[in-house]
Structure formats: C-alpha cells, structure tokens
Structure 1
Amino acid sequence: MHKNLFTSGARAAFAGIACVIMLIACRKDNKTSPDPTTNPVNNPTGSQSQYEDSLKYLMYQIMQVTYADGGRTPSRGLPTYYWYSQVPSINPLDSKYADADSLLAAMKTYAINPGTTKPYDHYSFLDRNGVLTNKLFNGISAQTFAATNKGDFGFDYGVALDRSNNAHIYVLYADKNSPAGQLGVTRGWEIISVNGNSNINTSDAFLRSTYDAIFNSSSVTLGFRRPDNTTFTQTLNTGSYNVNPVVFDSVLTVTNPTTKVSKKVGYFSMYTFSSVINSNGQATFTRTVLDQLFSKFQAQGVTSLIVDLRYNGGGAVSTAEYLDNAIAPANAAGNLMYNTIYNDKIMAHISDVKLTTTTNYAAATSRLTLDNVFFITSGSTASASELTLNNLKPYMTVKLVGEKTYGKPVGFIDFNISVFDQNHNQKYLADLYAINFETKNASGVGGYYTGIDVDAPAVDYVNVAWGNTADDANLKAIVNYINNGSFTAPGARTATPELDNLRVGIPALKPVNGFNGMVDYERSRALRLNR
C-alpha cells in the first residue's frame, strides 16, 4: 500500500492553507482571478480544473517559496528546488499553463548548464498515480491510486534489426516475481507476435501499439520464441507483486587458459533500486534478496564482483548505500561515503530542517575480499546506479564496461501533494519529484551531468542470455581482464552482428520506459518526523 507518504513539506503546506482554501471557495461573490501571492480557489465540489489549480499552486510553493507553511511567510521561506534561484517569479495560476506538468516543464528551462548550454533539469516530474512511489519505496508493483489498480506485467523489451533489416523484439529482463517472470520469461526470449500480430516491423504505428499493449494495458497476448527455438503463445494479465530487483545472479568460475588458475566471480544484474526499507521503516523483499545474495557470494569465496546495471535507472538512495556497504573494502568502514548538497537556503538552515549533509560507510563493511569490482553500464544506467559506483571509487579500483552512463548526479526528496474537500476528505493529487540535492563522493567528485565514461566499451547484444561469457561482449571483456589484466584477449576478434548474428537493441525504436533518478526517502522521512 502507498502508506504515510504525506511528507512534512506537503503536510505543513496543506495545514497552512486548507482553511483558507475552504473559506475562499465558500464565498459566492468571489469573481476575481487568483492572485499568485494567495491560495487558489478550490471548489468544495472538487472540479478537476480546480484540483489542477491546487496542484499547480502547491507544487510551485513547495519548489520556489517554502515547504514549511504554504508560502504565507516568504521572508522565512525554504524553497526545496535545487535551482530555485534561477527561476523567475511565476504566477502558477496563469492560464498559459494548461496543467501542473506544463508549469513544471517551464520551470525546468531556466537553469542552464554552461558546459552543454542546455537546461540542467531534464529530470523533474510529477507521478500522478503513486505507482512509482509505491514500487520504489515499498517494493510493491501495484497502481495504488490508479483506476485499474492492477500492477504491471513485469518486464521490458528492446527492438533490434538483423542483417536484412528485419525487426525483432527481445525481452531485456523480467522480474522473477512478476506475471512474466512467473511464466519463465527472461532475457533473450524473442517476442514473435503481439495480440495476434506477427508482422514485427518498425513502423510508428506498430511500435506505438506494441508499447501501449505492454505498458498501458491490463492484458496482452504474446507469442514467444525461446533460445532453444521452441515457441508458444500466452496471455499475460497485470498483477501486483513484491519487486525482486535481482533478475539474474551466478557465481562464475573463471579459469586462466595459461596458468589454469581458477577464480570465483560473483555476478548479478539489477533492473531497479527498489528500497531496502519501506514507508513503515521495515525491511523490504529487496533487502531479503540482497542479504541472501551477498551471503551466497561470501560462502562461495568470490574474489571478483560484477554488478550489471545496464538497464538500471536508479531508485532509492537507501539501496545504493546498502550496495556500497556490501561491496566496499575494510578501509572504507566508518569513513565518508558521500556528501549531499542542497540549495543555499536549505544549507543555511540545515540544522533547523533536520537534514544531514554527510553519509558514512557502516562501521563494518563487506565481508567479501575482492580483487576487482566491475560495473556493466549503458546510457540507461542512471542516478542511484551512478551514485553507487561513484561512492566506491575513493576506496577501491572500480572498472566500468559497456557504454557511458546517463548522467544524473542529482536527486529527489518525495513530496506527496493532497488537498481536502469541504467534508475534510483527502484528495490525492500527485507525488512531486523535483530536484532537491546534488551528491559528491568522498573525493569531491560529482557533477557528471553528461555521464560517466567507461574503461572498456562493449556492445549490448539483446538476444544473449544472462551470464553468457561466450557471447555477452561485456562479460567477455571482464573475463579477459580478470585473466590477463586487459579487456581484450590476445589475438581475439571483435564480435559483430554481421559475423555472429547477434542483435543490438536500437533505443530509437522504442519509447523510453522506466525511471531515471535517485530518491532519498529517508531524508523525506526525516522532514516528516522532525516537524
């Protein structure tokens, strides 16, 4: 369930304005347009347009004026938006903003990155049904506030072209607990029909209808071809499930062809950073899965670790911290993990708002003794994923293989926005995810807005199964490094789709799905509990 997510900022704002909204709404002679310095008119009957005005107003106040009292005392205000000082004064109720999303889109254009001459903020957004918050924070895939309330299928896919430019759809990953995962669907399976249509192509109409069928419907009938070339057709229905972010794990035995010395290498792939702690402060299924995983690695004596984050857009900061503590060497114990920097007004009153600016490693870090740690990354590796690997760099050698990461050194504190009608019933409007902070590791390194470069480029062949060290170019490069200190084996040829009939996913052929970000739910909890 989406429990107790009415954060202190939003809670205090509504406490300060709820009565004002009701009084204005009850005045029948109120014909004037809303003033940007006052609260918006809210119809006690709850018309959609007036709920939208409330959302626009409250979003603007939390970001630009103050989260503490609904903006009634701006001289003592504490705006939460990281780039608030670069946004001019705006009337959030101006008719040119059709909805809160268009207002937010306008606000995001003002802070310009001089290195790229483009806006820093292509991250902030509104979650209007609570799905993301529930999935990331509580580790439950269910649409708590959506009308359907039926969850999802639990997998993602990529579109690739073969040597004859024929289109193919491959499953990239599937959550083991999801409807797809329970069916056995996993990476490398090909989707050969969608709702009876086996004419797989790259037309806009087909690509859009396929996306909608898989991500925006409650039921879909898919034809599958397994790697062994067997086929079957199955109807999937959306479902609610405990998120299992680890889609694959294995302990690989890597043997040096010259010395014949074998090493144990732990390998796992995570598709999201669902939180290890839920909204009630309890351990989630994600925490249980990760505890079991690292216990297995320890028991089997792994000396190198491969963390596959090629499809991981991030999520909860608590999970990044868990992974860092599980991977870091003993010399990191008790030392600085990373710094959190807020806007100047929040930083000036940091003790008053009860937020912390430093996060340290645990007193005792990993029980693993690692010679190497490798991260497999891509342009979809973002935010909390980048935070994880960046935090480790001051304390151990970290190698990146694959493609340059997405580039998001900033994150969110979740603000849940709701209003009350004349009967004092709470009406959920949205969760606000607007950039609130930046992070830097113990060496002061951050600011990677254009991504983090890899040590060895490698292609992602989307029809290759998890853990395939023969055909997965990323794993092949890492095995070479473990054996001889170089990502390229002596005399090896580079695999290509033309030579090996492997498939490369083409991002432009599928709309982006999923979340790119890092959310600090624990600092959100701190704001709520310390008001």
Structure 2
Amino acid sequence: MSLYKYLLFLFLGLLFACKKEIKPPVEPGPEPTEDDHIKADIYDYFNKYSLWTEQIPDLDEEGRLEFVKKYSSNNNLLAALKNMTPFYAGYNGSIDRFSFLDESNTEGNLSYADGFRMDTNEGYGLYYGWGILSSSATVAYPVIFFVEGGSPAQKEGVTRGSIVYAVNDDEDITVGYNGSNLNQADVRRVGAKLEAALEANTLKLKVETASAEEKVFTIGYQNSYEIDPVILDSVYTYPDKNIGYLAYSSFEEVWPNTHQNYIKLEEIFASFKGANIKDLILDLRYNTGGYVSTAEYLANKMVNAANHDKLMFKYVVNEYLATSSQHRSSFQDVYFENQTNQLKLENIYVLVTEQTASAAELLISVLKPYLNVVLIAETDRTYGKPVGFFAEEIEDITLWATSFKTINAGGYTDYWDGMEVDISGVNDYIFKDFGDPEEDMIAKALETAGVSIPTSLRASSRKTSSAQRGVKLGIINQPKERNMLKKKD
C-alpha cells in the first residue's frame, strides 16, 4: 500500500472515530406564566423599596423569573426575601419581620365616606380577655377589654369592663383556674366558641357592665364599618390643675381639614386648650399604629408653639428611594408647624402595652426631645417597630415592603425590642372602662401628675386589696396591627 493511501485511510478513520453523536435539539422550557410575572414584580419592588436592599441580589427580568420559579406562592417568595435581610438576635431571625402582602382582591380595608378616605374594619369590633372575679376564684370569664369605635358593638352600647356571662344563650363559656394557670383544654374549647360567635351573622351577649348593670345585647355583623379612633376624651378637674385625657385606638386618616376625624380632633383640642391643661394622659394601650401623617398632626398639637420649625423626625431609606424623582420628596425631614388649638403642655403620661406599636411609637418618639414624656405600662416595653411602609399595587396584590425608618430630633431610633417604659408593673385593669380615674393605669398617671387622690385609689395600695378585685389573666383576641403607613405622593 502506498504511503498516500495509508495516510488517507488513517485520516478517514480518525474523522469517523471523533465524530460527535448528533443529539436532538433541546426543547425550550415553558413560557413564564402570569403568576411568574407577578412574583417577579414582587421581587423587583421589594428590592427597590426594602430598607435592607443591599442584601437582595440585583437581578434582571430573566433572572427574576428564573428565581421565583422555586416558590409555590407569593407569600413563600416574600418569606424568602425577608430571610435575606440581616439576622437580629432579639427576633432570633431576620430583622424584617414586618413586610407583608395583601392578597384580598379588594381595595383593602378602606372606604370612602363623603368622598374622604377612611380605614374600616369588619365584624363586631369586640375584643376579649380572660379574667377572674377575685383572687380565690376557680373559673375565669371572658371580659371585654376593648370595643372599637364605629363598630356594631360600640353603636349598641357595649363597653369595656363588661363581664360576659353568656354568648348566644350559651353559659358554658368559663375556663378552669387553679390559682396559677388557666386550664388550657378549656381555653381552646371556649376560645373556639368565641371565635365562631364572632364570625356569625348575629351575636347575643349577656353581660355585667363595669358599673354592675346586667344587660343583654343583640348585635348584627357588619362586613365593613368605619373606624372612629377616638375612644374617649375628657378633662379631669382638680383644685390645682386640669388634666386632659385622650384614649386613641388607631391613627386613621385626618386630612383634608374637612374630614370628620380632623373636625372631631380639632374640637377635642379646643376643649383642652379652653381648660388650660398643662398635663395630658394619652391612652395608647391598644393602638397598633396607622398613618404617619396623623402622628405628625397630633405631635404638632401637643408640642408648644415655641418649637415651631424645629425638627420632628428624619427618615432613613435606601439609596433608590432617597434619589428617585418619584419618591424622594416623600422622605424629606419633617419639622414642627404651628397649629390652631395648639396646647401648652409640660407633661404627657402615655399609657402603653406591648400592643402599642408603629405610628403610636413614632408619636411618643418625636415628643420625647421637647416634653416630659412618661410611659406607664404593665410590662417594661412597647411593641417595637421603628419602621414603616407604603403600598405598591401589583395586579390584585398589594405589597407592603418595609421601606423607611424614623429617627427623632435626639437621634433616637432602633427600638426593635420596644421602647423602655418609665413606670412598669401597672395593671391594665380591664374591669374598668376607659377614662375611669379608678382604673389602675389612669390612677397611676394621675398620681404621677401630682394629683392628690384617695389612698384607696392609688395603684400602690390596690395590691393589698386584690382579693376582692378582678384579675386579668390573658388576651383572647386583639386588634389587628395597623402598622406605620405612608401614602405615596
């Protein structure tokens, strides 16, 4: 064989030996669904707005669509995004425990009365705690500790401090108590009854009120009612001073100045000004927050006119929100402004619980550098939420990403574990109504304000006579969180 033929056969053998197997073309993956695109938008807006955006990877649209395929629901995706934020030891988890989605497919908890935006709720507006009627009692009853303003229960005349003896004619609603603990099987059984009753179309209650009157109420369920956040306002009159009292349940919208909430608050502050009060008891014990703009309005009413133009608070936001032409104007520093019916307060005694949160804490925070603010509580702190949100609509879903933090004029912020209180260990005595000077927290505020009150009414003396007094043993249901909300400009 010639050398030429040998080399030719060798070349052809190598050629066929090295030839790749031809595989069929790869089928393209399924096109992203509408749900995938919604999830990708959730990722995008969370990354843009989150206070901790540095922890969230920047992905293009294709990357976002690929990332979100791993999550079966919008809430699972949001949980994963929140888990990317820094670890906080106080929560034993990610610091963002606040961001949430509203997937109600409605306008949310909003209504429009006379053309004005108002927050609403649904149901009866009733909130219960467990209470024993004396220290030697062996059973606990449901006790109404809060009736929301504007609710069906409030309109029917149901009041705080009412002991519930029957629900829909069922008197088997007590739970066992052994002197230190409630019977948990009873708690679950009766709790389920109360929960079911609060979801029914009508509710019948047999109660004994705080003033020892026996009453029966029949109440209709409402799918939507407009919240009246003013629980009670009054002036305590004493020989040496007048003291204002305002129980405020949530920071609902007050603007424009023709809004009914604005008009009502203006009348209240006019009465306080007319009484020349220097001390105010501000009852925020169940206030879980609301609108930043309402906290600003109330702060302007309470701070002396001499502090006009002084810093109220600053926002902390991420770089995108701070520089975006669409958003930056919403996060400028906020300064005090003169108001009509502005008070000349010296002291504010704020009644708080671990439910006191968000915009309620913001109001407390901004007043601290300018007034003597005394926090009075059962425990040693408030809830702890120095951050807030604004809404981003994504189809039928609303994303509330934790997007801003506030800092007061003294640099105070980061109260993630709650604000420390000044006076702790004072009972939230749910057997007395709001405004009653014999209720423990109010009595402690009056005592701290220097009012001379009978020894029997002093909170310090009540523990010695507790055998004849009711005792709160826990909460059954509580008002839902209102957060710290801001409208987009």
Task: State the distance in 2 between where 1:353 and 1:307 align.
Answer: 33
The SS at the match of 1:126 is strand
SS where residue 446 of structure 2 aligns?
helix
Secondary structure in structure 2 of the residue aligned to 1:480: helix
- Look up the equivalent residue of 1:517 and give its one-letter code: N
TM-score scaled to structure 2, two decimals? 0.80
| 1:307 positional shift | 0.6
2:149 touches 2:228 (CA, 8 Å); kept in 1?
Answer: yes
Q: 2:243–2:279: 8 Å Cα contact kept in structure 1?
A: yes
Of the three residues 191, 195, 215, the one matched with 1:207 is 191
Letter in 1 for 2:123: D
Q: Once the 2 structures are TM-superposed, how far is the Cα of residue 443 of structure 1 from its aligned partner?
A: 1.3
CA–CA distance in structure 1, aligned partners of residues 300 and 72 of structure 2: 45
C-alpha change, 1:246 and 1:105, in structure 2 (3 Å) is same
Is structure 2 residue 85 aligned with structure 1 residue 111?
yes
* Cα distance per residue 1:164-221 (max 9 Å; x no partner): 342222222223432111101111112222333321234323313423432x444333
Equivalent residue in structure 1 for 2:110, among 110, 131, 134: 134
Distance 2:100 2:410 in 1: 30
In the TM superposition, residue 375 of structure 1 has moved relative to its aligned partner by: 0.7
Partner of 1:461: 429
| 1:159 aligned to which of 119, 130, 140 | 130
Count, aligned residues: 434
1:406 aligns with one of 368, 375, 383? 383
* Corresponding position of 2:486: 520
Aligned counterparts, 1:111-510, within 5 A:
111-116=85-90, 117-129=92-104, 130=106, 132-134=108-110, 138-141=117-120, 151-162=122-133, 163=135, 164-200=137-173, 201=175, 202-214=186-198, 216-227=199-210, 228-238=212-222, 240-254=224-238, 261-277=239-255, 283-349=258-324, 353-364=328-339, 367-402=342-377, 403=379, 404-418=381-395, 429-457=396-424, 458-470=426-438, 472-483=439-450, 492-495=460-463, 498-507=466-475, 510=476
CA distance in 2, matches of 1:497, 1:434: 49
Contact 2:440 2:459 in 1 (8 A): no
Amino acid at match of 2:73: D
Q: Which residue identity lines up with residue 56 of structure 2 in the other structure?
A: V
TM-superposition CA deviations, 1:408-463 (whole Å, max 9, x none): 00000111222xxxxxxxxxx22221201000011111110000011111111111
Q: Which amino acid aligns with 2:220?
A: L
The alignment status of 1:85 with 2:61, answered yes or no, reads no
Measure, in 2, the Cα distance between the counterparts of 1:113 and 1:520: 26
Aligned-partner residue type, residue 42 of structure 2: M
In 2, are the aligned partners of 1:141 and 1:242 still within 8 Å (CA)? yes
Which whole-Å CA distance do the structure 2 matches of 1:131 and 1:175 have between them? 21
Larger radius of gyration: 2
Q: Secondary structure at the match of 1:518?
A: strand
SS in 2 for 1:495: helix
Distance 1:100-1:194 versus aligned 2 partners, 3 A rule: farther
Which residue type is aligned with residue 122 of structure 1? R
Aligned amino acid, residue 46 of structure 2: M
Q: TM-score, normalised by structure 1?
A: 0.75
Task: Report the identity percentage.
Answer: 27
Q: Which ranges of structure 2 fall in alignment gaps of 5 or more residues? A: 1-26, 176-185
Q: Cα gap change, 1:102/1:196 in structure 2, threshold over 3 Å: closer, same or farther?
A: farther
The DSSP-based 3-state class of the residue aligned with 1:224 is strand
The whole-number CA distance in structure 1 between the counterparts of 2:45 and 2:264 is 36
Shift of 1:313: 0.1
- The one of 94, 97, 109 equivalent to 2:71 is 97
Q: For the residues of structure 2 that align with 1:265 and 1:282, how far apart are their CA atoms?
A: 27
Instruction: Report the Cα distance in structure 2 between the residues aligned to 1:367 and 1:304, rounded to whole angstroms.
Output: 13
Is the Cα contact below 8 Å between 1:330 and 1:365 reproduced in 2? no
C-alpha distance 111-161 of structure 1, shift in aligned 2 (>3 A): farther
* Structure 2 CA distance for aligned equivalents of residues 459 and 264 of structure 1: 24
1:370-411 per-residue CA deviation (whole Å, 9 max, x = no partner) reads: 231111011000010000010011111111111411000000
Q: Does the CA-based 8 Å contact 1:187-1:464 persist in structure 2? A: yes
Say what the alpha-carbon RMSD is for the aligned residues.
2.9
Structure 2 counterpart of 1:56: 39
Q: In the alignment, is the contact (CA less than 8 A) between 2:119 and 2:253 conserved in 1?
A: no
Structure 2 match to 1:67? none
Indicate if the aligned counterparts of 2:346 and 2:371 stay in contact, CA closer than 8 A.
no
**Can you give the 5+ residue segments of structure 1 that lack an aligned partner in the other structure?**
1-29, 35-39, 43-49, 65-78, 143-150, 255-260, 419-428, 527-531
1:361 positional shift? 0.9
For residues 448 and 302 of structure 1, what CA distance do their matches in structure 2 show? 30
